[in-house]
Amino acid sequence: MAEPFAAVDVIRAKRDGGRLSDEQIAWVVDAYTRGAVAEEQMSALAMAIFLRGMDSAEISRWTGAMIESGERLSLDVSRPTVDKHSTGGVGDKITLPLAPLVAACGAAVPQLSGRGLGHTGGTLDKLESIPGWRAELSTAEIMKQLNEVGAVVCAATEGLAPADRKLYALRDVTSTVESIPLIASSIMSKKIAEGAAGLVLDVKTGSGAFMKTRDQARELARTLVEIGTAHGVATTALLTDMNTPLGNAVGNAIEVAESVEVLRGGGPADVVELTVALAREMLGLAGLSDVDPAEVLASGRAYETWCRMISAQGGDPAAALPAPKHVHVVEAERDGVLSTLDAYGVGVAAWRLGAGRARRGDPVQYAAGILCLAKPGERVAAGQPMLELHTDTPDAVPAALESLAGAVVISETNDAPASGEGIVLETIKL
């Protein structure tokens, strides 16, 4: 049977700055998924979209076509459903305390997550450092856990948005990743297919984020909220700061340990602040705004839910986490105030120590990472330990130290002007 369109005509239309019709979009995404549009043709179209952009209606239809390429989960649970997605950062372990916290407050959280690539960590990599824990669950197992525990963090099932999985890999090797229409449709096709009624987006901005400037982050956040709303999902976005690593731990096992501290009522103030802020937004969308997540976190109920969530996926919440074979301490070179701890530099250093991967499918070291012993604004003395570099491969330390050159700045005084802002910079709703 003849195809209704020719790929070259669709490519030319976008290359010349035209608007793709709903029919063209539906066809090209479907045809690419089933192999009728070749990789080189979709590469050309992705570059045309990268250069020419898309309007909001095109982005919404493109997202819909990617959702339609696979299945859409029907969440048969008695609780209101709400999810969260982060655009990725350094030390961003927020999903770990957040999912059990929101579940302990009465919502159901179907958190289908991914693995890390480059300097940003992946939620599944962190959780897989827990002995016995497994990421791959069937749809039936996801539903069972949502009903019995209230939260599940696992890998996306193969049937969700297969067009996105194929296009994501293509964008990675054709330098078309940094396109707001393609980023937004990629994120939202998976999240909408997941079936939650509400979605809160944590859109990060700063040196350790994908979107370096607040204007870029705001544009992406608005696009994401527009797509979610157009597809019937109550959607809110928070713009959050990612110039400094979140918390003190950057890696896999050490981020799990820090998350458990938060769930037990302690942990770094910035991690607690963002966890509670996102929980409030999620509970608002779920119709549970009368529940105080800070109170639930302090009560220990979220930690109990964490233990049940980990156990349900074969993990042992009481088991010892992997420890590094080698620890290298970075000391302060002089007295002063730590004025900068650059998230990107720390993230790349942790990746070089083995905490992340250069290519999909590469193994990670669960014990690798960086423990930040001081944060910006704190006074330090010469010789004081500033960072601990954790790795199983000591040969990786020199490259990690190279990544940290310029990332750690000690000043005579704390000259940085106070912004008056917390970690949450803006809230974006329609």
Which one-letter amino acid corresponds to residue 419? S
Whether 295 and 349 have beta carbons less than 8 Å apart is answered as no
Residue 186 appears among annotated catalytic residues: yes
Catalytic-role residue among 14, 61, 84, 85 = 85
Distance CA 86, CA 130 (A): 22
Residue 165 appears among annotated catalytic residues: no
Catalytic-role residue among 190, 191, 204, 352 = 190
Residue 134 appears among annotated catalytic residues: no
Residue 37: partners with Cβ closer than 8 Å, 6 or more residues away: 7, 28, 31
Whether 238 and 426 have beta carbons less than 8 Å apart is answered as yes
Closest CA to 208 of 242, 177, 183, 250: 242
Catalytic-role residue among 125, 164, 270, 342 = 164
Distance CA 200, CA 255 (A): 22
Tokens 């992705």 correspond to what residue?
A: 46
Residue 126 appears among annotated catalytic residues: no
Count of other CB atoms within 10 angstroms of residue 233 = 21
Helices 139-148 and 301-312, packing angle to 10 deg: 160
Catalytic-role residue among 186, 189, 207, 259 = 186
Distance CA 297, CA 79 (A): 19
Distance CA 307, CA 305 (A): 5
Phi, psi torsion values for 110, nearest 5 degrees: -90, 90
Residue 171 appears among annotated catalytic residues: yes
Catalytic-role residue among 61, 115, 171, 280 = 171
Whether 247 and 241 have beta carbons less than 8 Å apart is answered as no
Structure tokens at 148: 């019995």
Active site residues: 85, 164, 171, 186, 190
